[in-house]
Amino acid sequence: MSSTDAILVTPGQKDSFRQGTVPVIDEIGPGELLLEVVAVGICGTDAEICEGLYGQAPAGHEALVLGHESLCRVVQAGSDATGFKPGDLVVPIVRRPCPERCPACAVGRWDECLTGHYQEHGIKGLDGFLRGRLVLDADAVVSAPAALGEFAVLTEPLTIVEKALERALQIHTAPGHPQTGLVTGAGPVGILAALLLRSRGLDVYVVDQRPADSPKARFVESMGGHYIDDTKTPFEKAGPAGGFDIGLEATGYAPLVFRALSALAQNGVLALTGVTGGHHSLDIDVNLMNSTMVLENQAMVGSVNAARAHYERAVQDLAGFGVQFPGLLEQVITARHPLADFAKALQKGPDDIKTIVTLG
């Protein structure tokens, strides 16, 4: 057994993240893969874990290896790990089924786990990917084409959007629609949501608080979308006259949820992807909200995590974005840091989209 550098955190303890080492098993079993980590994306969940607000160490451990959005390379494939060879790129699946194998987990829908005892790499009960090497079951990863290269690290955040959009489209069945999309927040999830909605042919409006000449605004415009600086024009007034068919909320700022709901069109569906801690009260006219949602057939749906099919779709869609929007994926990854500079990777500037930690 050898060891590998890793970023460790003590869940529940603010600013406890540090660089350390963890053991690596060099002997792999028949259905296993020895992987080297190529890159790990950093997201708001990682920041919350480092704040001590979220996260759970593996049973019997005090520390958790951080990092869940990852891209790895196969070093060695076990005899039964068919379809994998050294050098292949793979994206590990974040959530693993609950030990009880509830009806959802039993059919691979761990994202809809019924017991809540699921585990998530780098988040809940399973070590994550901010480490040099690790061993995983071959059925816990999805293959990524070599041509995607480093961009495959965007797979996991895109799975969040793939699932949220799938849920919205299961509800939005009006003929000839959806035609218009609203994305609140031009962070990584919002930007990936905008690319996905554009790739599906929707007229997309992205809302943020950056100026109209900011890189995020230019990014949205170069994919053929509309950017709205909500500090200048409220998005309720700047969108299409009839409202939005599909909304994807990607800020996790709860007051925006109700504004986005009020901006939906007839039959509109709002999908929520952001998690909010703490408390925030609002004075809302719930009679108006109720009757509008009923009379206009509207829906609001939450969505968390993703199943294997969403990972496979995300890998395909990333490859498609590269063709449909040349040069744009390059602009999604705005900062790269080595493992030793992890603290810098947590600091996000207003124009940053996705920060990644590069390992191999």
Distance of CA 271 to CAs 185, 280, 281, 309, 357, Å? Answer: 13, 20, 21, 19, 29
| Beta carbon of residue 48, minimum distance to ligand BGC (angstroms, whole number) | 9
Question: Is the peptide bond preceding residue 30 cis, with omega within 30 degrees of 0?
Answer: no
Binder of ligand BGC out of 50, 97, 113, 120 (CB under 6 A): 120
Identify residues 31-50 at the interface with ligand BGC (CB under 6 A): 43, 45
| Beta carbon of residue 127, minimum distance to ligand BGC (angstroms, whole number) | 15
| Beta carbon of residue 313, minimum distance to ligand BGC (angstroms, whole number) | 15
Whose CA is closest to 43, among 34, 55, 30, 31? 55
* Residue 123 interacts with ligand BGC (CB under 6 A): yes or no: yes
Q: Where are the alpha helices (DSSP H) in the chain?
A: 44-50, 103-106, 155-171, 188-199, 215-222, 235-238, 254-262, 286-295, 308-324, 329-332, 342-346
Which residue lies nearer to ligand BGC by CB, 181 or 188?
Answer: 188
Query: How many chain residues are in contact with ligand BGC, going by CB under 6 A?
Result: 11
CB proximity list for 92: less than 8 A, separation 6 or greater: 35, 70, 72, 121, 129, 136, 140, 141
| Beta carbon of residue 21, minimum distance to ligand BGC (angstroms, whole number) | 25
Which residue lies nearer to ligand BGC by CB, 17 or 227?
Answer: 17
Which residue lies nearer to ligand BGC by CB, 77 or 91?
Answer: 91
Report the 10 Å Cβ neighbour count for 251: 23
Alpha-carbon distance of 249 to 231, in angstroms, equals 17
CB proximity list for 133: less than 8 A, separation 6 or greater: 4, 24, 34, 35, 36, 37, 75
Return the exposure string of 43-61: e unless at least 16 CB atoms fall within 10 Å of the residue's CB, then b. bbbbebbbeeebbbbeeee
Binder of ligand BGC out of 304, 319, 328, 335 (CB under 6 A): 304
Which residue lies nearer to ligand BGC by CB, 156 or 162?
Answer: 156
Which positions from 141 to 180 touch ligand BGC by CB under 6 A, shown as an x/- string? ---------------x---x--------------------
Which residue lies nearer to ligand BGC by CB, 38 or 154?
Answer: 154
* Residue 355 interacts with ligand BGC (CB under 6 A): yes or no: no
* Residue 71 interacts with ligand BGC (CB under 6 A): yes or no: no
Alpha-carbon distance of 215 to 326, in angstroms, equals 16
Pairing mode of beta strands 333-338, 354-358:
parallel
Residue 343, CB-side half-sphere exposure with 13 Å CA sphere: 5
| Beta carbon of residue 86, minimum distance to ligand BGC (angstroms, whole number) | 28
Which residue lies nearer to ligand BGC by CB, 181 or 274?
Answer: 274
Binder of ligand BGC out of 37, 65, 93, 94 (CB under 6 A): 94
| Beta carbon of residue 283, minimum distance to ligand BGC (angstroms, whole number) | 29
* Residue 95 interacts with ligand BGC (CB under 6 A): yes or no: yes
Q: Is the dihedral of CA 234, 270, 169, 276 positive or negative?
A: positive
| Beta carbon of residue 69, minimum distance to ligand BGC (angstroms, whole number) | 7
| Beta carbon of residue 160, minimum distance to ligand BGC (angstroms, whole number) | 5
Which residue lies nearer to ligand BGC by CB, 155 or 334?
Answer: 155
Residues 323 and 329: beta-carbon distance below 8 Å: no
Q: What is the separation of C-alpha 262 from the centre of its chain, rounded to a whole number of angstroms?
A: 25
Alpha-carbon distance of 242 to 326, in angstroms, equals 31
Which residue lies nearer to ligand BGC by CB, 49 or 202?
Answer: 49
| Beta carbon of residue 253, minimum distance to ligand BGC (angstroms, whole number) | 16
Whose CA is closest to 121, among 137, 109, 144? 137
Which residue lies nearer to ligand BGC by CB, 96 or 172?
Answer: 96
By the criterion CB under 6 A, which residues form the site for ligand BGC?
Answer: 43, 45, 68, 94-95, 120, 123, 156, 160, 304-305
